[in-house]
Amino acid sequence: MTQRYFAVREDMLPEAILKTLQVKEMLARGEAATVHEAAEKANLSRSAFYKYKDGVYAMHQLNRERLVTISMELEHRSGVLSKVLSLVAAHEGNVLTMNQSIPLQGLAHVVISVDVSQLSGDLDSLMDVIRSQQGVRKAAVIGQG
């Protein structure tokens, strides 16, 4: 079954949903050390919190992560992949996943998923730097979300 999402005005939400958001915010801000403590402060049962916590998010949280998938062909030489990963980190990108094939004919295919929500500069600039790196034969963004 495909999951569907809705934007709903705050005053239309049931109290348990609003309190679940309140508990999540208390935990994120460090105002409570445990779910039990935060739920108690919000006057919400822990079972209600656990029921809703993975399905309710404030709108500002949805834009926090911006993910891109980058596909690359790299020469099979020591340090090429390490340099690319260092470039991503230097631009404030955060590599979440990485998959590398066994090198064939001197080239390895590498796919990385990167959180670019904190990127210094824009994605095009990062891609230009990656493509200009010695040992990078090809690099392209193949997915964004």
| pLDDT for res 8 | 84
Contact call for residues 109 and 70 (beta carbons, < 8 A): no
The strands making up 107-115's β-sheet, listed across from edge to edge, are 94-100, 107-115, 67-75, 136-144
Per-residue pLDDT reduced to its tens digit, 41-79: 999 999 999 999 888 877 666 555 588 999 999 999 999
- Report how far Cα 44 is from the mean position of its chain's Cα atoms: 29
pTM: 0.58
Helix, strand, coil in percent for the chain, rounding step 5? 40, 25, 35
When the pLDDT of each residue in the chain is averaged and rounded to a whole number, the result is 89
For residue 2, the model assigns a pLDDT of 64
Residue 31's identity, in one-letter code, is E
CA distance to 34, 57, 61, 115, 128, per residue, from 64 (Å): 23, 11, 5, 9, 24
Which 3 state secondary structure label does DSSP give 79? coil
Task: Specify the pLDDT at position 3.
Answer: 66
- C-alpha dihedral (91, 95, 99, 101), degrees to nearest 10: 20
Q: In the 8-state DSSP scheme, what is residue 33?
A: S
Q: Give residue 29's pLDDT.
A: 86
- What's the pLDDT score for residue 19? 94
Residue pLDDT, tens place only, 1-36:
666 777 788 899 999 999 999 998 898 888 988 999
What confidence tens digit (pLDDT) does each residue in 111-141 have?
Answer: 999 988 888 888 899 999 999 999 999 999 9
- For the stretch 94-105, pLDDT in tens is 999 999 999 999
The length of the chain is 145
